[in-house]
Amino acid sequence: MKIYMNGKLVPESRAKVSVFDHGLLYGDGVFEGIRAYHGRVFKLDEHIARLFRSAQAIDLKMPLTKAGLAQAVVRTCQANGIWDGYIRLIVTRGLGNLGLNPYTCKTPQVIIIAGGIQLYAEKLYATGLDVITVGTLRNHTEAINPRIKSLNYLNNILAKIEAMNAGCMECIMLNPQGFVAEASGDNIFVVRGDTLLTPPSWCGALEGITRQTVMELAPEQGLQARAEVLTRYDLYTADEVFLTGTAAEIIAVVKADRRIIGSGRPGPVTRRLERVFREHARSSGTPIG
């Protein structure tokens, strides 16, 4: 595998970062997870726009333009013969000293890895996920704002640990006010009749690209979609619940806190959206060429 590092494609064995990189020392940096479907990069501009917003929010100066970065992603896919795959785009603060001061780091490191995708097992799409709401709260919006897709995922990892230790693959995180935020690595939707509801970003949700795509696809399916403040009540009383994310796409949640949601099986709206999303993803995007 060839890895893009600061303008060069290097063999995997030579793709190394310094122990003085603040990405490693402090989780100081930002990233994106992007999919390639059938020789095209899905929503590349949207991912790059979010990466730039994340970088701006942490006062990290991007060393490339948006167009330059898009080109670098495509070039990395080409170099690795990617047709269907997963791309990890990482920008670290770069090399500094052992102090916190980010301004000792002169050059951000841009790394792009284009490889295979680690998905949920196909069986889980057929059965749906069993989740719990966890005690670990989503970061306060005035701590690490959850709209920033930063390299510091410890908040999400602590939540994931709680879920795994309770025998669940995923969890639902609440925000400090007790409102539903999202899952540890995916956004959440509640289906009520023909309406899709998802927490607004101020409740602690990442502005997910898959979430946005689902909201755009909803009207042509006769569904209304909007952001709304949700509590656990809304999960327990929903007709259907599903998660969205680049890796997972759309996956049903059939149990929350041991309570059965709806029929206890992936519902018709979730199944339809799964299909529509997959068709859409496979027929759009930036050609790898």
Q: Which stretch binds ligand PMP (CB under 6 A): 92-100, 110-118, 205-213, 268-276?
A: 205-213
Q: Which of residues 9-38 bind ligand PMP (CB under 6 A)?
A: 33
Q: Which of residues 245-264 bind ligand PMP (CB under 6 A)?
A: 245-246
Q: Does 210 bind ligand PMP (CB under 6 A)?
A: yes
The dihedral built from the CA positions of residue 256, 261, 265 and 268, taken in this order, carries a sign that is negative
CB of 183 to ligand PMP, least distance (A): 7
Locate 209 and state its tokens: 């690209």
Q: Among 2, 43, 123, 149, which one carries the catalytic annotation?
A: 149
| Bridge partners of residue 257, in order along the sequence | none
Q: Does 182 bind ligand PMP (CB under 6 A)?
A: yes
CA 74, CA 37: separation in Å to the nearest integer? 13
Q: Does 211 bind ligand PMP (CB under 6 A)?
A: yes
Binding string, 127-156, against ligand PMP, x = CB under 6 A?
-----------------------------x
Phi, psi of 152 (to 5 degrees): -90, 95
Phi, psi of 155 (to 5 degrees): -55, -45
* Residue 243: HSE in the Cβ half-sphere, 13 Å Cα cutoff: 29
Look-up: residue for tokens 């097992």?
121
SS3 state at 277: helix
Q: Where are the alpha helices (DSSP H) in the chain?
A: 22-26, 44-57, 66-79, 122-127, 154-165, 209-217, 232-236, 268-281
Residue 221, amino acid: Q
CB of 33 to ligand PMP, least distance (A): 5
Q: Does 162 bind ligand PMP (CB under 6 A)?
A: no
Binding string, 48-87, against ligand PMP, x = CB under 6 A?
----------------------------------------
Indicate if 149 belongs to the active site.
yes
Q: Does 185 bind ligand PMP (CB under 6 A)?
A: yes
Binding test (CB under 6 A) with ligand PMP, winner from 244, 267, 270, 285: 244
Binding site for ligand PMP (CB under 6 A): 33, 156, 182, 185-187, 206, 208-211, 244-246
